[in-house]
Amino acid sequence: MSRKPNIWISLLMAATLVIPLSFVVPKNADKYLSEHFWSRKTFAPSDYNVVIMGDSRVYRGLSPEIVESHLPDLKTLNFAYSNGGLNPTMFEAGESKLAKNKKPKIIILGISANTVTGYSAPNTQYLQEINRPREELLERLYFNPVLYWFSPTSPEQIKKQFSGVKDTAYYRHRYFLNGYVESDKFPIDTLEAIPSYTKDFTNYKVEPEYLNSLYKQVKLWSDSGIIVVGFTPPVSRPMRILEDTLGLYHEKEIRAGFERAAGYWIDLNLNEFKTYDGSHLVIESAQKLSNIVGKELAVILKKHSEN
- Domain of 143 in residue numbering reads as 8-306
Q: What is the pLDDT of residue 303?
A: 83
Q: What is the pLDDT of residue 298?
A: 95
Which tens digits make up the pLDDT trace of 58-77? 999 999 999 999 998 899 99
Total structural domains in the chain?
A: 1
The DSSP-derived string for 40-79 is HHHT--S-BSEEEE-SHHHHTT--HHHHHTTSTT--EEE-
Q: Are strands 227-231 and 264-265 parallel, antiparallel or unpaired?
A: parallel
Domain CATH for 223: 3.40.50.1110
Q: Are 44 and 75 in contact (CB under 8 A)?
A: no
Is 1 contained in some domain? no
Beta carbons within 10 angstroms of residue 86's beta carbon: 29
Q: Are 191 and 199 in contact (CB under 8 A)?
A: no
The 3-state DSSP class for residue 264 equals strand
pLDDT tens digits in sequence order for the chain, 307 residues long: 455 555 655 545 544 544 454 444 455 556 778 899 999 999 999 999 999 999 999 999 999 999 999 998 899 999 999 999 999 999 999 999 999 988 999 999 999 999 999 999 999 999 999 999 999 999 888 877 776 555 555 555 555 655 666 677 888 999 999 999 999 999 999 999 999 999 999 999 999 999 999 999 999 999 999 999 999 999 999 999 999 999 999 999 999 999 999 999 999 999 999 999 999 999 999 999 999 999 999 999 988 877 6
Is 176 contained in some domain? yes
State how far the Cα of 63 lies from the Cα of 59, in Å rounded to an integer: 8
State how far the Cα of 188 lies from the Cα of 183, in Å rounded to an integer: 12
- Which distant-in-sequence residues (6+ apart) come within 8 Å of 287 by Cβ? 63, 66
Q: Which amino acid is at 276?
A: Y
Q: What is the pLDDT of residue 22?
A: 44
| Element containing residue 212 per DSSP (H, E) | helix 208-223
| Separation in Å, CA 86 to CA 107, 123, 202 | 12, 9, 20
Q: What is the pLDDT of residue 169?
A: 83
Is 3 contained in some domain? no
Is 155 contained in some domain? yes
Q: Which amino acid is at 66?
A: I
Is 2 contained in some domain? no
Q: What is the pLDDT of residue 148?
A: 59
